[in-house]
């Protein structure tokens, strides 16, 4: 089948790879003029890690990744409040765990299909018109194409979702936070293989040293206003206004943003849909069921969803049966992950100093109490066995 995939991030290229393996003709359509390289560092483990192993890209991801040894929470004057040793996480995941910039993961996945799958950069799907034998897809650039199926892998703010399901205001659920990420050159100090984080009520800022003398900053801000500033300068101003006077290195970090060209800033939201497909159009990844960065596994789940969708299309002659089987298989897992992410919000970004103190106490307990490996095992395990398909 000829299958149009909107979005060349994580889910889209993963799906294209497995569809190509199954003998289909996928076409990636990406609004950006080139592969996106920005974003924050993601912890990569679980189902997505298993998909990466089946794609043969696990060695490359380990080489590009960072084996973070500790997460350290600091006070406003820089003293260490809590130090979480990540050795326990590696034990319970059997060392199938790494951390890497999302853009590096996307580039590695894309390398498996580069030159083998048609990719249209700098264009996007503007219209979807179903007919008896397929789908007429109109691109924003004016081109008309014919496909058998359309896949929306275009993220949290999916345009394909809007085209297929209409404007459904109840599908996106804002979790009351904004997240920002930026990479700068030459920042000091550097704490190699350690994630340094500082929290104030409703605010969190962290840094991690990257190769090439680069440092990635991650900001999380509680906000009742889900409006994301439009311009680059307005986004920088927001971060400076909210973070610069909080203590620790915050003033130095926000000053370093003046040299940043590529700043990521977005809402922290979940997508909850009654169904993930309509007619010949289906959603995958964040477009279908974003769990938010609070879930910690959204990137890997997007890869797993793409793999299962491709597998079910290979296992069923009728796309309607495949879409139904895909959703039936994954919906309970996704619902549980979304619920866990909502529960974790209070720990991830506490509203009060007491909440911060409790979170840091929990970090210290994980290091001190032997039985916490069982708790970590529940956190870093998936109640889902990745199927084996003939792909």
pLDDT tens-place string over residues 316-360: 999 999 999 999 999 999 999 999 899 888 888 999 999 999 999
Determine contact, residues 258/212, Cβ cutoff 8 Å.
no
Its pTM stands at 0.94
* Cα torsion 177, 285, 71, 186: sign: negative
Q: Quick one: pLDDT band at residue 243, thresholds 50, 70, 90?
A: very high
CB atoms within 10 A of CB 281: 24
CA dist., res. 71 & res. 106, Å (int): 25
Per-residue model confidence as pLDDT tens digits over 107-161: 999 999 999 999 999 999 999 999 989 999 999 999 999 999 999 999 999 999 9
| Fold assignment, 2-171+269-379 | FAD/NAD(P)-binding domain (3.50.50)
Q: What percent of the chain has pLDDT over 90?
A: 83
Q: Residues 92-109: what's their mean pLDDT?
A: 92
CA dist., res. 254 & res. 80, Å (int): 21
Q: Are strands 149-152 and 203-210 parallel, antiparallel or unpaired?
A: unpaired
The three-state secondary structure class of 116 is coil
- The overall average pLDDT reported for the chain is 93
Determine contact, residues 71/360, Cβ cutoff 8 Å.
no
DSSP-assigned letter for residue 293 = G
pLDDT score recorded for residue 371: 61
**pLDDT beyond 90 at 379:** no
Residue with tokens 């970590």: 376
pLDDT score recorded for residue 53: 97
pLDDT score recorded for residue 169: 61
Residue with tokens 């199926």: 149
Closest by Cα among 248, 209, 218, 244 to 349: 218
For the chain, helix (H) and strand (E) counts, in that order, are 13, 18
Q: Quick one: pLDDT band at residue 209, thresholds 50, 70, 90?
A: very high
**pLDDT beyond 80 at 376:** no
Token pair, residue 58, equals 């696990």
CA dist., res. 91 & res. 98, Å (int): 13
Integer distance in angstroms from the first to the last C-alpha of the chain? 15
3-state secondary structure 63-101: HHCECCCEEEEECCCCCEEEEEECHHHHHHCCCCEEEEE
């Amino acid at each position: 089948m000829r299958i149009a995939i909107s979005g060349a991030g994580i889910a889209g290229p993963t799906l294209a790879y497995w569809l190509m393996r199954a003998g289909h003709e996928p076409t990636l359509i990406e609004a950006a003029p080139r592969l996106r390289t920005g974003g924050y560092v993601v912890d990569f483990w679980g189902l997505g890690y298993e998909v990466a192993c089946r794609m043969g890209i696990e060695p490359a991801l380990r080489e590009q990744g960072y084996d973070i040894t500790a997460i350290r929470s600091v006070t406003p004057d820089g003293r260490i409040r809590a130090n979480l040793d990540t050795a326990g996480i590696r034990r319970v995941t059997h060392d199938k765990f790494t951390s890497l910039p999302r853009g590096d993961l996307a580039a590695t996945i894309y390398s498996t299909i580069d030159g083998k799958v048609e990719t249209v950069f700098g264009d996007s799907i503007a219209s979807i018109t179903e007919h008896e034998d397929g789908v007429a897809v109109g691109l924003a650039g004016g081109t008309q194409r014919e496909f058998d199926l359309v896949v929306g892998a275009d993220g949290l703010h999916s345009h394909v979702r809007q085209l297929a399901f209409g404007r459904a205001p109840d599908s996106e659920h804002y979790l009351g936070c904004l997240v920002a990420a930026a990479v700068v050159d030459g920042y000091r100090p550097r704490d190699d293989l350690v994630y340094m984080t500082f929290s104030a009520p409703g605010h969190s800022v962290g840094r991690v040293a990257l190769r090439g003398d680069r440092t990635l900053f991650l900001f999380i801000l509680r906000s009742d206003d889900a409006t994301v500033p439009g311009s680059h300068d307005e986004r920088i101003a927001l971060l400076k206004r909210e973070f610069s006077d909080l203590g620790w290195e915050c003033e130095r970090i926000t000053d370093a943003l003046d040299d940043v060209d590529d700043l990521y800033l977005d809402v922290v939201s979940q997508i909850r849909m009654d169904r993930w497909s309509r007619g010949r159009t289906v959603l995958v990844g964040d477009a279908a069921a974003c769990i938010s960065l609070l879930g910690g596994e959204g990137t890997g789940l997007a890869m797993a969803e793409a793999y299962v969708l491709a597998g079910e299309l290979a296992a069923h002659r009728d796309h309607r049966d495949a879409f139904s089987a895909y959703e039936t298989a994954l919906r309970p897992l996704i619902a549980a992950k979304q619920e866990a992410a909502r529960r974790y919000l209070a720990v991830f970004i506490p509203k009060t100093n007491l909440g911060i103190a409790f979170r840091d106490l929990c970090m210290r307990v994980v290091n001190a109490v032997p039985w916490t490996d069982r708790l970590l095992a529940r956190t870093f395990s998936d109640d889902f066995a990745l199927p084996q398909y003939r792909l």
